Amino acid sequence: MSYDIYKSGMPEFSIAFSGNKSDRKLTHQELVRAIRFMIAAEYEAIQLYEQLAESTDNTLAQKVLIEISHEEKEHAGEFQRLLRELAPGDESFYKEGMEETEEKIEKMKPKVIPSKPAKASAKTPGKPKTKPQKK
C-alpha cells in the first residue's frame, strides 16, 4: 500500500520539501506555512547540533557543530524576518505573547527594597549602643 501525500490530507506545503519542482506555484498561504515549517526545522537543527557538540569530547567536532548551530540561528532569524513581511498580521499575536511573558517575568523577579545608607559612627563594632537608665 503506497502513501499518497496528495490524498492524505497532510498540509500541501510539505510537497515543497520533496526535492522535486512542483507542477504549480505555491499559494501565498502555502508559502507562509512553508516558512513557518522552515523556522521550526532550523530550531530542530540547532538542538541537534548543540546536543551532538555536548555529547562528544572531540574538540574539532564541537567547534564545527557549534559554528553550524550559530549559522542555523541566523537562518531562523532570516526566516522570521521574511515571515514578518509575508504575514504581518501575525505580529500582533507575537507581541501579545511577549507581553504576557514579560508580565510573568516581572511577577517572578525578586522585589528589591532599597536599603538606607549606613551612617558613619564611632561606635565599637559588635557592642550595641545603650541608653543610660533613669533611677
> Within a domain: residue 114?
no
> Within a domain: residue 115?
no
CA distances from 11 to 28, 29, 43, 111 (A): 14, 11, 20, 48
Each residue's pLDDT tens digit, 73-120: 999 999 999 999 999 999 999 999 999 999 999 999 988 887 777 676
Runs of H (alpha helix) within the chain: 28-54, 59-86, 91-108
> Within a domain: residue 85?
yes
CA dist 11 and 17 (Å) reads 12
> Within a domain: residue 2?
no
Q: Strand, coil or helix: what is 17?
A: helix
> Within a domain: residue 117?
no
> Within a domain: residue 135?
no
The angle subtended at Cα 77 by Cα 74 and Cα 78, nearest 5°, is 90
Each residue's pLDDT tens digit, 55-74: 999 999 999 999 999 999 99
> Within a domain: residue 41?
yes
> Within a domain: residue 4?
no
Range of the domain at 67: 12-108
Instruction: Work out how many domains the chain is built from and give that number.
Output: 1
Q: Give residue 44's region: left, alpha or beta (phi > 0; psi -120 to 50).
A: alpha
- The pLDDT confidence band at residue 29, using thresholds 50, 70 and 90, is very high
